Amino acid sequence: MERTLAIIKPDAVEKQFAGPIIQRIEAAGFRIRAMRRVHLSKAEAEGFYAVHRERPFFASLTAFMSSGPAVVMVLEADGAIRKWRDLMGATDPSKAPAGSIRADFGSNIERNATHGSDAPETAAFETGYFFAGVDLV
Ligand code: GDP
């Protein structure tokens, strides 16, 4: 079993899409091993996205991610990292497949409803960022 970090981003939480997104996660066969609602500070968002600090959209992305509450989760499944990214669809919702979470709930390339770790190393860093010392039950 593999674990990945999922975030329901502030745009989707604001629009009350957390429920339908969690429903899709469970219907796809993931186990939610930990979950909490967070309102990141700008500094916490910058720490989470530190690998992107040289990207032109870093300031905008971290302002967005600290703009309101988000829901963070540890998801578990066989091949959870790939499986969750497939369920989300492409970064840009307009390029994501019909029926994917980002196509259905995202607004644009930045406000794209959800986040998912992209590799085992980032999954380990990202789950630790929010759930260090927390029991995964
Ligand atoms: P992901 O792995 O699909 O989330 O995509 P990336 O790791 O490339 O980017 C991280 C996050 O930054 C994305 O989920 C978007 O919220 C945001 N982002 C990515 N590309 C752009 C862009 O070109 N412009 C803006 N404003 N935000 C972007």
For the domain that residue 12 is a member of, what is the CATH number? 3.30.70.141
Across 81-105, average pLDDT: 98
* Alpha carbon 110 to its chain's center: 12
Q: Is residue 136 part of a domain?
A: no
Q: Is residue 80 part of a domain?
A: yes
| 137 band by pLDDT with thresholds 50, 70 and 90 | very high
Of 61, 67, 88, the residue with max ligand 1 atoms within 8 A of its CB, to mutate for a pocket test, comes to: 61
Q: Is residue 91 part of a domain?
A: yes
Q: How many domains does the chain have?
A: 1
Q: Is residue 137 part of a domain?
A: no
Q: Is residue 96 part of a domain?
A: yes
Question: Does the Cβ of 92 fall within 6 Å of ligand 1?
Answer: no
Across 51-72, average pLDDT: 98
Query: Which residues does 126 contact at the CB level (< 8 Å), separation at least 6?
Result: 5, 48, 117
Give the nearest ligand 1 atom to 112 CA.
16
State the average pLDDT for the chain. 98
Residue ranges making up the domain that contains 16: 2-131
Distance CA 7, CA 16 (A): 14
Is residue 115 among the annotated active site residues? yes
Q: Is residue 29 part of a domain?
A: yes
Q: Is residue 78 part of a domain?
A: yes
Give the nearest ligand 1 atom to 118 CA.
2
Across 17-28, average pLDDT: 98
Query: What pTM value is reported for the model?
Result: 0.98
* % of the chain surpassing 90 pLDDT: 100
| 70 band by pLDDT with thresholds 50, 70 and 90 | very high
Q: Is residue 119 part of a domain?
A: yes
Q: What pLDDT score was predicted for residue 97?
A: 97
Q: Ligand 1 center to residue 61 CA distance, Å?
A: 8
Across 86-92, average pLDDT: 98
Catalytic residue (choose from 115, 117, 126, 127) = 115
Residue 44 is classified by DSSP as H
Question: Does the Cβ of 61 fall within 6 Å of ligand 1?
Answer: yes
* % of the chain surpassing 70 pLDDT: 100
Q: What pLDDT score was predicted for residue 6?
A: 98
**How many other C-beta atoms lie within 10 A of the C-beta of residue 107?**
14
